[in-house]
Amino acid sequence: MIKNLTFIASDGEELRTSVFINEELFSGNSLILVHGFKGFKDWGFGPYLADYFAKKGFLVVTFNFSHNGIGENTVEFTELEKFAENTFSREVRELNEIIDALRNNFFGFGSKGKLGLVGHSRGGAISLLTASKINDVDAAAVWASISKLDRYSKRQKEEWRKKSSFDVMNMRTKQIMKLNLCLLDDIEKNSAGSLNIENAVKNFNKPLLIVHGDQDLAVPIAEAEQLYEWSDKSKTEFYKLFGTGHTFGIVHPFAGTNHKFEKLLEKTTDFFTSSFN
């Protein structure tokens, strides 16, 4: 069963969500999938992996951050003004609210069992920052995750402040996507505190799976190695996938799975199954 719901965040913004569940196989445990930068819940592998995990017995929630640039058209970037106003702190708050909504049975079924997060790319960092501070998450898997939010050079920041915005090219759609100063301000104000990924990983006192492709050109595997270095090795597993990149060979629109991606799904399923027992 797939159910689409709109969750209203504390500031009135809409978060579009999809819930996947196989009621006959449901174990009582849930997963929330957290997309990354220029990502969205219906990108490429999103619906496929949600259905995969549902068939493994999980209730699965996918959602779009309110300012990810996706609006009523669920597969095109039509809200570029919102995209420009997004911040990391907003995404942490919204993920917290999605977790609270699940625990309060907004999505049905998944309020009492174990809960895991699966974060891709920037979504991995948002998952770690969120889960390290709350007790409602029991384990997390981060795929191709970044290890730092400040990814901009001094010169880029100077130009950003001079122009009051920073342009990012979406190579798939060829859209110019602006980032306003609020994102840079968020980084500089909170990088030592609420947005410190190193502290989040060091305080992450629960099972953690770090997965990275050795051919990732968007986020070098050195960032996964950094996350693992910070982690509690007794609770963390670092799984390298060889011969694959940032999206593990999956494209948008979805053109089918592959052997490497299936290995990733099997590994992640085994991780959550063992962590929740």
> Per-residue confidence of the chain (277 residues) as pLDDT tens digits?
999 999 999 999 999 999 999 999 999 999 999 999 999 999 999 999 999 999 999 999 999 999 999 999 999 999 999 999 999 999 999 999 999 999 999 998 867 899 999 999 999 999 999 999 999 999 999 999 999 999 999 999 999 999 999 999 999 999 999 999 999 999 999 999 999 999 999 999 999 999 999 999 999 999 999 999 999 999 999 999 999 999 999 999 999 999 999 999 999 999 999 999 9
Of 138, 113, 115, nearest to 205 (Cα)? 138
Task: Give the whole-angstrom CA distance, residue 201 versus residue 205.
Answer: 8
Residue that the structure tokens 């978060």 belong to: 15
Q: Please report, for the chain, the start and end positions of each structural domain, with discontinuous segments joined by +.
A: 2-79+86-148+194-276
Task: Give the whole-angstrom CA distance, residue 207 versus residue 211.
Answer: 13
- The DSSP string of 198-214 is HHHHHT--S-EEEEEET
Of 143, 129, 142, 139, nearest to 29 (Cα)? 139
Residue that the structure tokens 């609420």 belong to: 194
Q: Could you tell me the fold of the domain covering 2-79+86-148+194-276?
A: Rossmann fold (3.40.50)
Residue that the structure tokens 């979805």 belong to: 254
Other CB atoms within 10 Å distance of the CB of residue 75: 12
Query: Strands across the sheet with 30-34, in order?
Result: 2-8, 14-20, 59-63, 30-34, 115-120, 139-143, 208-213, 236-241
